[in-house]
Chains A and B, each alone.
Chain A
Amino acid sequence: MTRPVLCGLLAAAATLGPVIAGERPPIGFEVGDAFPVELSLVEAATGKTMSLAAFRGQKVLLIVYASW
């Protein structure tokens, strides 16, 4: 799914337009918000449940993408 992932990035860029502060459409997250780190989900590789709270103390780059 390389093409759809990259297309998603490009499409998102096209959708979001130029990178100008304040002009991006809302995505439900704002700078300064507390991310719901306690939310637990299944890790794809292990099948075990984990949450982002496990990564407290580290800087995290979170990417939400599609494998479809």
Chain B
Amino acid sequence: MPVWHERTKTLTEQGKLLLVSVVPEQHGERTRLFMQWKQMSWPTLVDPLNLLGVPLVPISLALDENGVIRLVQPMLGPLDDLLEFVATKFEPPRESGEAPAPAAAELGAAGGDAALWRSRGDRLVRAGDEKSLGRAIEAYERALSLDGEDPVLWFRLGVAHRMRYDSKARRPEDFQRAVGAWSRSLALDPNDYIVRRRLQQYGPRLDKPYPFYEWVHVAREEIAARGETPLPLKVEPAGSELAGKLRTFPRTEEPPVSPDPDGRITRDDKKLIVIESTVVPWPAEPGGPLRVHLVLRPSVARDAHWNNEVGPLRVWLDPPDGWSIDSRLIEVRPGEGATSVEIRRVETELQAPEAGAREPASLRGFALYYVCEGVQGRCLYRRQDVVVPLTSRATRED
């Protein structure tokens, strides 16, 4: 059980203190699984937009019966302070103009129309439905047109884009737009711990403090061992979200051989497989690492299916001059059954030139796969070329 719960268990059991949590998590159902794993039964609220405006975690606050903060970070101090807080009767704040000042989180960004559009965006995101996400994005963009230097606005725009990416209303560019917005937010406020962690969650291993969601498989095993069913996740953590930290950029010992160097495999002109790419962060720092996410989806419009009976999906990537790459040839295991329609993800990492790329560059390559058009349709071996724009800070156009 989390440390703070052990320290306060007696007080909460006696009804003298109520434990409440707030978690600034992009994917709220992951918090729900964490709570199930740790058997945390107290109210826990999810705050993907960081509406509280917390600059770091963890934070503990003791609130009296009137919602006034009486202790800041009591869990880092002596327990006696908390016991005294519980035993004290606090008077309600006076109404004669001496009400306690609102917490910093309430003051928000500069006032005016930008703040109004930001509030509208916040309300639309919190509405929770997919249609509102598009309107929220528009509201945040409107606010940014009035105040383009607000890091909070850029962060929330990124949150909204990523939420839409994870919904049925998704647009292929949403993930990259989220990353771009978060990168812009961090550039404006490099001390924002929450934004930094949000980027690191999807970013390269050289910039990763720890594997963010490594705990998920442990949680599921322990929950199942208790005889319970682990709560489902809407978005499974994968790839970068599970990857651990690296201290040096990996170097390939033996360069692999291109599986189709002369481009002789027939192209998938029908786009039976739709390929999307996202680069994290955007832009990369000179000499810095970045992670490339490729998502391959069988086309629903063409009733496309992976053919799993022959061989794996293979992706070949050629870095531009001056850039280093982790893996040039990546294979993805076939799915279950003769055919399947799952989304397949391919991730690799690059390192930007030390001086920064003077010109815009592209990561070029191709995917080779076995695909069927329709479950009973023709099954083909096809190639689709991939071009991923790259940029480092030396070439970024504002």
The answer to whether B103 and A67 have CB atoms under 8 Å apart is no
* B300 CB-CB contact with A under 8 Å: no
In the assembled complex, the Cα of A29 lies from the Cα of B55 at a distance in Å of 10
The answer to whether B65 and A44 have CB atoms under 8 Å apart is no
The answer to whether B69 and A32 have CB atoms under 8 Å apart is yes
Interface residues on B, range: 35 or more
The answer to whether B46 and A42 have CB atoms under 8 Å apart is yes
Checking B19, B55, B65, B197 against A63 with a beta-carbon cut-off of 8 angstroms, the contacting residue is: B19
Checking A6, A31, A32, A42 against B45 with a beta-carbon cut-off of 8 angstroms, the contacting residue is: A42
The answer to whether B43 and A68 have CB atoms under 8 Å apart is no
In the assembled complex, the Cα of A45 lies from the Cα of B201 at a distance in Å of 23
- Chain B residues with CB under 8 Å of A42's CB are 28, 45-46, 126, 128
* B21 CB-CB contact with A under 8 Å: yes
- Chain A residues with CB under 8 Å of B215's CB are 1-4
**Taking CB as reference atom, which chain B residue is nearest A34?**
B100
Question: Secondary structure at chain B's binding surface: helix, strand, loop or mixed?
Answer: mixed
The answer to whether B24 and A66 have CB atoms under 8 Å apart is yes
In the assembled complex, the Cα of A55 lies from the Cα of B15 at a distance in Å of 12
Interface residues on A, range: 35 or more
Decide: A49 near B126, CB < 8 A? Known: A60-B20, A68-B30.
yes
* B75 CB-CB contact with A under 8 Å: yes
- Chain A residues with CB under 8 Å of B69's CB are 29-35
The answer to whether B30 and A27 have CB atoms under 8 Å apart is no
The answer to whether B58 and A64 have CB atoms under 8 Å apart is yes
Decide: A44 near B31, CB < 8 A? Known: A61-B19, A66-B197, A68-B212.
yes
Contact with B along A2-38 (1 / 0, CB 8 A): 1111111100110110010000101111111111110
- Chain A residues with CB under 8 Å of B65's CB are 56-59
- Chain A residues with CB under 8 Å of B388's CB are none
Q: How far is the CB of B73 from chain A (nearest CB, A)?
A: 6
**Taking CB as reference atom, which chain B residue is nearest A49?**
B126
The answer to whether B21 and A36 have CB atoms under 8 Å apart is no
* B72 CB-CB contact with A under 8 Å: yes
Decide: A40 near B16, CB < 8 A? Known: A3-B210, A27-B73, A61-B60.
no
* B93 CB-CB contact with A under 8 Å: yes
- Sample of 15 further A-B pairs with CB below 8 A, known A27-B55, A29-B103, A41-B46: A1-B215, A7-B210, A9-B75, A26-B104, A29-B69, A34-B68, A36-B102, A44-B23, A44-B46, A53-B67, A59-B65, A61-B60, A62-B21, A62-B60, A63-B22
